[in-house]
Amino acid sequence: ALRRYASAASTAAFAGQKDANGKYTVTLIPGDGIGPEISESIKDIYVAADVPIQWEEVSVTPILKDGKTVIPDNAIHSVRKNTVALKGPLATPIGKGHVSLNLTLRRTFNLFANVRPCVSIKGFKTPYDDVNTVLIRENTEGEYSGIEHEIVDGVVQSIKLITWEASERVARYAFNYAQTSGRNRVTAVHKANIMCVGRVSFSDPVHQTPLVGKCQMACS
């Protein structure tokens, strides 16, 4: 049952590296807080499900390199070598000068699309039945740009960066995903009623994506 559900909710073809014993090596980033505990539970679940995986555990605790805070080279090498990684929750220290580790990982590996499937599981009663949706969120811009500064004491300005290139890229990804997974409808979600200028930089590239004619298009 576990495998059937995982297959139904899969978001992309698994592209891991298989060894001579038929096992895939996957980078494991335990994370902070409850991360290590969650990671241990995941290991137990994978063993119980007989998933052919061996873990390569690394830490992404930032280090100083050339005066900048960066992710350790061995962690970057592990992810690029294995092509698949599982990450626990990461904490960002409170205070000036600290950059979100999640944002750093996204930028380092160009993880521009956050893919979140939501599928009803038979036997579990929920407010809504037969749910089968996938949310694809642009992961590197917008509110996740990480550009902030204090104008004067007590007044902070956060910049929402939106570029045509990034919007078109995530739109192409969404339409390609819809096609390959047998879906015929894509909904673009934005805040055009308030952020009118930003809407143009997002919705226009979406509407002009070549694949838009192959799926129904709706805006919200």
> pLDDT of 140-195, one tens digit each?
888 777 788 888 999 988 888 888 888 889 989 998 898 888 888 888 887 777 77
Answer yes or no: is 37 within a domain. yes
Distance set, CA 186 to CA 116, 142, 169, 179, 191 (Å): 14, 20, 15, 10, 17
Answer yes or no: is 130 within a domain. no
Whole-number pLDDT of residue 41: 95
Answer yes or no: is 214 within a domain. no
Whole-number pLDDT of residue 211: 65
Whole-number pLDDT of residue 195: 73
Q: What are phi and psi of 68, to 5 degrees?
A: -120, 150
Region 69-84: mean pLDDT is 88
Answer yes or no: is 135 within a domain. no
Region 134-142: mean pLDDT is 89
Answer yes or no: is 131 within a domain. no
Whole-number pLDDT of residue 77: 94
Distance set, CA 219 to CA 59, 134, 176, 178, 189 (Å): 40, 15, 18, 16, 6
Residue 9 confidence (pLDDT) above 60? no
Residue 7 confidence (pLDDT) above 50? no
Pair of tokens at residue 162: 């939106």
Region 13-30: mean pLDDT is 81
| pLDDT category of residue 97 using cuts at 50, 70 and 90 | low
Report how many domains make up the chain. Answer: 1
Answer yes or no: is 137 within a domain. no
| pLDDT category of residue 25 using cuts at 50, 70 and 90 | very high
**Burial track 59-89 (b if 16+ CB lie within 10 A, e otherwise):** ebebeeeeeeebbeeebbebbeebeebbbbe
The pTM (predicted TM-score) of the whole model is 0.74
Region 50-54: mean pLDDT is 91
Answer yes or no: is 202 within a domain. no
Whole-number pLDDT of residue 158: 87
Region 74-78: mean pLDDT is 93
Whole-number pLDDT of residue 164: 86
Q: Rounded to an integer, what is the distance from CA 151 to the centroid of its chain?
A: 31
Q: Can you say whether residue 31 is alpha, beta or left, with left for phi > 0 and alpha for psi between -120 and 50 degrees? A: left
Answer yes or no: is 75 within a domain. yes
Please name the residue that has the structure tokens 């894509």.
186
Range of the domain at 5: 1-111
Whole-number pLDDT of residue 46: 93
